[in-house]
Structure 1
Amino acid sequence: NQLNLQSSKKEEGVTSTFLVLMIDQVDEVGRILWKVQAKQANYTAQNKLGVVQNPFGELFQDGKVVYQVRADKAEIERDAQKLFLKGKIIAVDPNNGVELRGNELEWRPKEDLLIVRNQINGNHKQVQAVAREARVKTRQQRIEFIGGVVANAKESQLQMRTEQLLWPVKEEKLIAQKPIQIDRYKNKQITDRGRGDAASVNLKTNIATVTKNVQIELVDPSMQIATGAATWNLKTDTVITNSKVRVLHREENVTVTANQGEFRIPQKTVFLKGNVTGIGQRSQSINSQNLTWFLDKQLIEAEGSVVYKQADPPLTFKGEKAFGNINTQNISVTGGNTGRRVVTEIIPQPRE
């Protein structure tokens, strides 16, 4: 623990004023923990508090610089276990380029923990984030944002809102284990929105995985997707779910449920598999094993044990394939290649 003073002016009492202040801190085996240099300081030895101008510091772990710290003005408090700075702080990891800005910084080298608090703004070539607090594990290069987190993945134009977000910088991922909202932007306008109880975004592949109580709202086509888990490819604008899914097309007022689904957003095409049930706005329905939904043409193509029902006029068609518009009740049912006949059931109306 070394305090070097240059060009000093000392007064009797509790406060000393120095034009140059340099603080070095080492551990029990002599490894450097931090260095701080300032041009001017008011230093109170009794409570180890100093008000310094233009401080610059280096934080060390395992003998290597893990963060560089600077500010226009800051208060410094230190002991053998930690360093505390208060002011407009900028901390930069020279290894990966992460920049953290805040109003308080605490360095606990024995815990390998750097904490930046109070109006956090983090910036990197891949991510920009704001939060109330950031906690950094320097050896692992893992950053945890806590409280009112808003993080932007720059390449994919994706914004995440949650209360806690983990950023393993080396792994190029953003991970949320708490409820999260994900907004997709194009030309500064929200085009898609996803919600779930947990999510992860791969910054390298631009693929988001959302799990637990997933809801995705698309602007074009105007559609709501509800499922247990979904993979959202932000490069191809594709959503894939291998769990039970419910789809609502708001404009057509058509609802479809299935065991699995794939949504190709630019092509406005939906592929649904397993126990597919579609219901139109006049309670007409279609059941099948597979269904392709061409949203821009308002057409469906169903295959496998097809059953189509409508109430007005009351009809039931059974076959292997079906094609048409469920809302206009213009459906063609065929027997496919199985040799099975199409079965038509006509339900007579009761006489008045």
Structure 2
Amino acid sequence: MLQLVFHTIVSIRLLSVIVLYCITGLYSCSSQTYIPKTQITTSQKLDNNLIFFDVTLEQADKVGQPIWSFKTKRAVYTKNKQFGRVDNLYGEIYQDGQVVYQIQSDAADIKQDDKRLFLRGKITAINPKNGAVLRGNELEWKPQKDLLIIRKEINGTHKQLKAIAKEARIKTRSQRIDFSGDVVIDSINPPLKIRTQHLTWQIMQDKLITSHTIKIDHFKNRQIAEHLRGSAAEVDLKAKIARITKNAQIHLLEPLMEITSKEMTWDINTHTVSSNTSVQVFQKSENIKVTGNYGELKIPQKILSLGGGVYVTGQHIKFIKSQKLTWLLDKNSIEASGDVVYKQVKPSLTFNGDKAVGNLKIGHMVISGGNNRKSVVSEIIPQ
């Protein structure tokens, strides 16, 4: 039941009587009826507008539980639009009889019925439980659907992150926010910048989830250290683990390198990226390509480990095949082990062994082991 309060709460039925009396000029009341004092000018009467001061707007559900309650310093009533304009609005929206968001606005257009509330203006919504603050230019509350929608130039803040989007759809019971439209998330710890078109923030679980194209920048000393990309991802802010679950890519700036896989797990605590699916590595400066069935990258140590059908190509070698490979990225040196096959271009040579150690940049390689248990050294010095 929608209620209006002018010093005391007056029902909508009574307000309708007041409006009818004021507009028709047939204003009269008995000694038992309380009529609130309002200031109405002649021009407002002609425009079918009434202005009320210190108003409370309330709406309850069928069992009497509140679903919203607002106070406003000034409200303009229009005959066709109910309360069309309110100033200095402050109040709460409720779910299951509990406050879920506090709402503030200096000035807003308002429409309301028993199923929804709509506000247009500079709106601030504050969650008193988790501290999330959302700002936008439109608000729609649908209590029966447990859905709060904030639209147009969304700006959100929280102790864990900052968010920008075109729309935020909030499920109040589960404390979940779906951001959409040019979404940008800046998390504080870990320091990440996330860009996508749609993202779900599970506030209680400290998780960010998307099934859309996503870009993640990781910062170190306020500088971008790594770029991650993918078509779907889940970021656990509490555990500091990001999982790119589709079309995963990581771009390293030092050394300049790209690593791709169907999926990757990024442990931000240890700065380790791993994948249990096929991995492809490309170092453009030396034109080196490496593939394996699984892999792990230790970013601080600059060590890349691959396993399961490893295949290497480069400027000075035709290919190296092995079961495992360890690549020291800063030195461009490798160690391959397990059924090693080494083939070079000039001169055309092929060697088999248990292990190969060498430098991919200068083309120096030592192959050891094999059936004859003899070491073979092949050295190429670039001209």
Please say whether Structure 1 and Structure 2 have the same fold, judged by a TM-score greater than 0.5.
Answer: yes
Give aligned-pair identity as a percent: 47
Match of 1:247 among 254, 257, 281: 281
Q: Which has the higher helix share?
A: 2
- What is the distance in 1 between the residues matched to 2:374 and 2:83? 88
CA deviation profile, 1:178-218 (whole Å, cap 9, x unmatched): 11111112233322111111001001011110022212111
Q: Are the aligned partners of 1:318 and 1:343 in contact in 2 as well (CA < 8 Å)?
A: no
Structure 2: state its 5+ residue gaps: 8-36, 379-383
Residue number in structure 1 paired with 2:24? none
Residue number in structure 2 paired with 1:4? 5
Q: Are the aligned partners of 1:316 and 1:345 in contact in 2 as well (CA < 8 Å)?
A: no
Question: Please, which moves more after superposition, 163-172 or 10-19?
Answer: 10-19
- What is the distance in 1 between the residues matched to 2:166 and 2:336? 51
Counting only pairs closer than 5 Å after superposition, residues 201-212 of structure 1 correspond to structure 2 as 201-212=235-246
Q: Which has the higher strand share?
A: 1
Letter in 2 for 1:341: R
Counting only pairs closer than 5 Å after superposition, residues 96-135 of structure 1 correspond to structure 2 as 96-135=130-169
**In the alignment, does 2:373 pair up with 1:341?**
yes
Residue number in structure 1 paired with 2:57? 23
Q: What's the CA shift for 1:252?
A: 2.7
Letter in 2 for 1:226: T
Structure 1: state its 5+ residue gaps: 347-352
CA RMSD after TM alignment: 1.8
- What is the distance in 1 between the residues matched to 2:6 and 2:121? 22
- What is the distance in 1 between the residues matched to 2:236 and 2:372? 48
Q: What's the CA shift for 1:344?
A: 6.4
Residue number in structure 1 paired with 2:295? 261
Counting only pairs closer than 5 Å after superposition, residues 304-343 of structure 1 correspond to structure 2 as 304-335=338-369, 341-342=373-374
Residue number in structure 2 paired with 1:89? 123
- What is the distance in 2 between the residues matched to 1:56 and 1:212? 44
Give the TM-score normalised by structure 1: 0.94
Counting only pairs closer than 5 Å after superposition, residues 1-352 of structure 1 correspond to structure 2 as 1-6=2-7, 8-10=38-40, 12=45, 14-335=48-369, 341-342=373-374
Q: What's the CA shift for 1:221?
A: 2.2
Residue number in structure 2 paired with 1:350? none
CA deviation profile, 1:89-126 (whole Å, cap 9, x unmatched): 10011010111000000111011000000000111111
Instruction: Determine helix, strand or coil for the equivalent of 1:39.
Output: strand
Instruction: Determine helix, strand or coil for the equivalent of 2:263.
Output: strand
Q: What's the CA shift for 1:233?
A: 1.3
Give the TM-score normalised by structure 2: 0.86
Q: What's the CA shift for 1:15?
A: 1.1
Q: Are the aligned partners of 2:365 and 2:377 in contact in 1 as well (CA < 8 Å)?
A: no
Q: What's the CA shift for 1:340?
A: 5.3
Q: What's the CA shift for 1:25?
A: 0.3
Q: Are the aligned partners of 2:367 and 2:376 in contact in 1 as well (CA < 8 Å)?
A: no
- What is the distance in 1 between the residues matched to 2:376 and 2:341? 10
Q: Are the aligned partners of 1:48 and 1:79 in contact in 2 as well (CA < 8 Å)?
A: no
Letter in 2 for 1:256: V
Q: 1:343 to 1:188 in 2, by over 3 A?
A: closer
- What is the distance in 2 between the residues matched to 1:91 and 1:23? 17
Question: Please, which moves more after superposition, 155-164 or 115-124?
Answer: 155-164
Q: Which has the larger radius of gyration?
A: 2
- What is the distance in 2 between the residues matched to 1:70 and 1:94? 13
- What is the distance in 1 between the residues matched to 2:84 and 2:71? 12
Instruction: Determine helix, strand or coil for the equivalent of 2:189.
Output: coil
- What is the distance in 1 between the residues matched to 2:101 and 2:377? 76
Instruction: Determine helix, strand or coil for the equivalent of 2:144.
Output: helix
- What is the distance in 2 between the residues matched to 1:342 and 1:112? 74
Q: Are the aligned partners of 1:318 and 1:342 in contact in 2 as well (CA < 8 Å)?
A: no
Q: What's the CA shift for 1:82?
A: 0.8
